[in-house]
Amino acid sequence: MLSKQSEEGYRALMPGVRVKTLCYGQRTLMTEFVMDQGTELPRHAHPHEQTGYLLRGHLRLSIDGQEHDVREGDSWCIPADVEHGARVLEDTVAVEVFSPVREAYLPK
């Protein structure tokens, strides 16, 4: 699968958070998250391993009860079933890969 850059395809997950599925295969799915300063992503867990890279902005990422100051160029990996959440400290863009494919994020 090849996906070309486009400004289309974003959808709101919650106020202040938009997601776009960039590309996916049988085992992985890659997304772009655009998050507004001041947004709180509630703590949650899911059966997907989640690997991310911060393209722009600033987050306070909580993974398994530990707080991490995440800035442009930083990356992370959250194991499956581990509780995590975030506070968006600046307008932020992140790319994240989920494995297995996170079906809720598949294009409709």
Banded pLDDT at 29 (limits 50, 70, 90): very high
pTM of the model: 0.92
> Alpha-carbon distance 30 to 40, whole Å?
22
With 90 as the cut, is the pLDDT of residue 85 above it?
Answer: yes
The answer to whether residue 3 is domain-embedded is no
**CATH number of the structural domain spanning residue 74:** 2.60.120.10
* Non-local CB neighbours of 6 within 8 Å, separated by 6+ positions: none
- Averaged pLDDT for residues 30-39: 98
The answer to whether residue 7 is domain-embedded is no
**21 closest CA partner among 8, 13, 30:** 30
> Do the bridges between strand 40-44 and strand 84-99 make them parallel or antiparallel, or are there none, so unpaired?
antiparallel
Count of domains in the chain?
1
The answer to whether residue 1 is domain-embedded is no
> Alpha-carbon distance 108 to 43, whole Å?
26
Domain that holds residue 59: 12-103
The 8-class DSSP code of residue 82 comes to -
Tokens read off for 5? 């850059």
